Amino acid sequence: MHCVDFLIIGQGITGSLLAYNLIKLGQSVCVVDNDHYGSASKVAAGLINPITGHRLNITERFFEYSEHAQTLYWQIERDLGLDLGLSSNHRIYREINQTRLIKNAGQAEYLAQRKQQTEYQSLLNNTSNTGGWFGNSEQHPFGAIQVSKTAMVDTQQLLFSMRHWLQQRSALISAQLTYEKIQLHNNEFSFENINAKKLIFCEGYQAIHNPWLKSLPFKLAKGEILTVKPEQPVDRLLSWGNWLAPLGDGRARLGSNYVWNDTSLNAIAETPTKFMQSLTTHTSLKAELISHDVGIRPSTTQRKPFVGALSNLNNAYCLNGLGSKGCLLAPFYVTLLCQHMLENKPLPEEITRWL
Ligand SMILES: Cc1cc2nc3c(=O)[nH]c(=O)nc-3n(C[C@H](O)[C@H](O)[C@H](O)COP(=O)(O)OP(=O)(O)OC[C@H]3O[C@@H](n4cnc5c(N)ncnc54)[C@H](O)[C@@H]3O)c2cc1C
């Protein structure tokens, strides 16, 4: 039997960052992952966007979350040597310019209000023309705005690099964990040849099959995203309700939608046409379709994640429910959970109450 401090179920963004943090804190870890094609981390665009929605609201606790995110992603890049290559294509985290279309008079009014508010000062740049990205001023009379502090996380690079890093430490088992195979002895867990003092569930939307997490109020949201090749180079995130996010190698992600109450992972046949039409209607760009992917966001009814110890299983924890903002939120909540497990720091009630 191989003994570890923590057995983590799931190597999406959440499980990856948690395993990394725990190992850096001197803990021994084993991660079990079934490499499921519909997991959100595999298809996410990785956007970290300070301003969202028609009203141009600031993402809740944006400044606190984004500082944590930047610090952790940069630390991983340095640690794994991803910052050494000449190409930025191996980086996990990159800041990116964002030009956002102001779609109508109502939104222009919100923008005028936001510009007066102190917390928006560092986010909204005053430029009001569309910079040619969204066609001419007749088509889009309300112009566009530059949004600072926008970033992109390359989730596929993160998962791939962390997988390799964990494999080098013999800390990854590629397997489907079936819950009845977890054995419990003296408040410790065993699975295959691993014995662990603590167990952490990070299965994303697949947690709906977990008997200990049955009562969690998930509100899962299927999402579709296209990978496309724009006809001309794009050097920034363009957003207009949908968005086009350049990958840095001539391709871009075009997304996305929310399909509620559907965990089928079937791609909807009309989606590529809809997204492409949205692109050509709102921007001055055309693009060629490369692929069409589907994933399930682990969203929750309260829009708060589930983080903390389980009340129905001793020494077991959960970190899940990061919804559509896993890249922004995961670094912060990983830190909170580590501090809770290793230093006994209390967690806020809003994230523990369902566990
Ligand atoms: C179309 C789309 C676009 C998105 N865009 C963005 C974006 O731009 N920015 C952003 O921040 N977020 C985005 N998201 C959301 C983001 O992807 C999620 O918040 C995040 O990936 C959740 O990560 P996770 O690790 O908690 O879950 P997951 O990514 O689902 O990972 C769970 C892992 O656990 C494994 N697993 C599950 N059950 C088992 C089991 N029983 N045994 C073994 N392994 C198991 C799975 O294979 C998977 O690897 C998007 C999501 C979608 C679907």
* Ligand 1 atom index nearest CA of 322: 19
- Residue whose CA lies nearest to ligand 1 atom number 19: 326
Are 171 and 314 within one domain? yes
Whole-angstrom distance, CA of residue 318 vs CA of residue 310: 7
Residue 222 near ligand 1, beta carbon < 6 Å: no
Q: pLDDT per residue over 332-350, tens digit each?
A: 999 999 999 999 999 999 9
Output the CA 45–ligand 1 centroid distance in Å.
Answer: 11
Say which residue the tokens 């939307």 belong to. 205
Residue 277 CB contacts under 8 Å (≥ 6 apart), including other chains: none
Whole-angstrom distance, CA of residue 36 vs CA of residue 8: 16
pTM attached to this predicted model: 0.95
Residue 206 near ligand 1, beta carbon < 6 Å: yes
User: Domain containing 266 — which CATH number?
Assistant: 3.30.9.10
Are 171 and 318 within one domain? yes
Amino acid letter, 318: C
pLDDT means per 10 residues in the chain (355 residues)?
A: 94 98 97 92 96 93 96 94 67 93 93 92 76 78 92 95 95 93 90 94 96 95 97 94 94 96 92 96 92 96 96 96 98 98 97 96
Q: How many domains does the chain have?
A: 3
Q: pLDDT per residue over 256-290, tens digit each?
A: 999 998 899 999 999 999 999 999 989 989 999 99
Domain that holds residue 129: 98-148
Look at residue 248 and tell me if it is in a domain: yes
Are 254 and 316 within one domain? no
Whole-number pLDDT of residue 177:
92
Are 199 and 227 within one domain? no
Output the CA 82–ligand 1 centroid distance in Å.
Answer: 22
DSSP sequence for 20-33: HHHHHTT--EEEEE
Look at residue 319 and tell me if it is in a domain: yes
* Ligand 1 atom index nearest CA of 326: 19
Say which residue the tokens 């309260």 belong to. 302
Residue 39 near ligand 1, beta carbon < 6 Å: yes
Whole-angstrom distance, CA of residue 299 vs CA of residue 205: 8
Are 14 and 120 within one domain? no
Whole-angstrom distance, CA of residue 227 vs CA of residue 233: 14
Output the CA 130–ligand 1 centroid distance in Å.
Answer: 34
Q: State how far the alpha carbon of 347 is from the alpha carbons of 200, 224, 318, 339, 350, in Å.
A: 16, 33, 12, 9, 9
Terminal Cα-to-Cα distance of the chain (whole angstroms): 30
Q: Show which of 254, 270, 297 is a domain's final residue.
A: 297
Mutate to test the pocket of ligand 1, among 159, 219, 238, 327 (most ligand atoms within 8 A of CB): 327
Look at residue 55 and tell me if it is in a domain: no
* Ligand 1 atom index nearest CA of 323: 19
Strand partners for 152: 47, 94
Q: Show which of 281, 297, 313 is a domain's final residue.
A: 297
The sign one gets for the Cα dihedral 159, 162, 48, 93 is negative
Whole-number pLDDT of residue 187:
86
Residue 326 near ligand 1, beta carbon < 6 Å: yes
Are 36 and 140 within one domain? no
